[in-house]
Amino acid sequence: MVVEFMEYGDLNQFLQEHIAETASTLPQNAKMLSYGCLIYMATQIASGMKYLESLSFVHRDLATRNHFKFHVCANRNCLVGRGCAVKVSDIAISRSMYSADYCNLEGKALPIRWMAWESILLGRFTSKSDVWSFAVTLWEILTFAREQPFDELSDDKLIENAAHFYKDDGQEILLPLPINCPKEIYDLMCECWQRNKRPNFREIHLFLQRKNLGYKPGMD
């Protein structure tokens, strides 16, 4: 099988190798990414997911990381090439370094920190649950993948949090606003984390495109 070579590897590691252009302290020879570039990358992921959505294809495991080899679903990841090109792939290289991102739930290794409540509790995966995961991925991008989503919650507490969504009791916890993230972008994330009504990828892609007008990546 011949596949496209994406020389910078998975998006998670790429982000961690860079810092924000607006960082107060810039180490010598630091690799920087602008806010515009982050949104540019997120827009490309949204574009890929819009295409999958148009085919009624459910991804199930969208995230910045490469995927854990024992995951029961097909392995897919976001890979980075020249010019900050980001593509959603179905090819993975096994990396046990991401095993902590998965929780053993009823005999299955599941990335519950990226999953919608209905996927965790009911085993229901749809394009709308992919939208939820996309918002977590967007959160990762804007935090430079420096921390795990819901790092302060244990797996059991995270499942309990999903139950609050199920009960619709108003006690659910969302991921916090990333540093320097505009409110309108965070509002988009929160829309993607709604209990029921969430935007589709066509709407998400269009919104991000509008926020990305005129941006050209500095990398070649």
Query: pLDDT tens digits for 3-40?
Result: 677 888 889 999 999 999 887 777 778 899 999 999 99
Which neighbouring-strand residues pair with 10? 79
Inside any domain, residue 174 = yes
For residue 156, indicate whether it is catalytic: no
Inside any domain, residue 217 = no
Q: Which of 61, 130, 156, 187 is catalytic?
A: 61
Q: Residue 102: give the domain boundaries.
A: 11-22+29-209
Inside any domain, residue 189 = yes
Query: pLDDT tens digits for 169-193?
Result: 999 999 999 999 999 999 999 999 9
Is the separation of the CB atoms in 136 and 114 below 8 Å? yes
Which neighbouring-strand residues pair with 86? 80
Is the separation of the CB atoms in 138 and 177 below 8 Å? no
pLDDT at 69: 42
Tokens of 163: 């139950």
Q: Report residue 213's pLDDT band, with 50, 70 and 90 as the boundaries.
A: confident
| CATH of residue 165 | 1.10.510.10
Is the separation of the CB atoms in 112 and 103 below 8 Å? yes
Phi then psi dihedrals of residue 89, to 5 deg? -115, 165
Inside any domain, residue 56 = yes
Query: pLDDT tens digits for 122-157?
Result: 999 999 999 999 999 999 999 999 999 999 999 999
The conformational region for residue 75 under phi > 0 = left, psi -120 to 50 = alpha, else beta, is: beta
CA dist., res. 87 & res. 84, Å (int): 10
Inside any domain, residue 216 = no
CA dist., res. 115 & res. 117, Å (int): 6
Inside any domain, residue 215 = no
Number of domains in the chain: 1
